[in-house]
Structure 1
């Protein structure tokens, strides 16, 4: 179901990651008071912004 009134430009996906990587991301997210999805989004944005330089 989609929300046609949303102006948010996001996509949802499912990924598989190495268990150790997941633990690291989860630990960082918890340490920063964030949920894991937001932390993963930050990591991906940082990665691709660095790639553009």
Structure 2
């Protein structure tokens, strides 16, 4: 899990660097990342609450 987490974070940083070259509005991109992470977290939380635990 640690290796997967480190690999995912490094891929995210590389993609963010590439994106910043073509989309220079850093603050707007950060806002989008936070918004999408919030939506994704809410969806996961709702799904986990709906799934019955055995």
Q: Which has the higher contact order (CA 8 A, sep 6+)?
A: 1
TM-score by length of 2: 0.41
Find the structure with the greater CA-based Rg.
2
TM-score by length of 1: 0.42
Structure ranking higher in helix proportion: 2
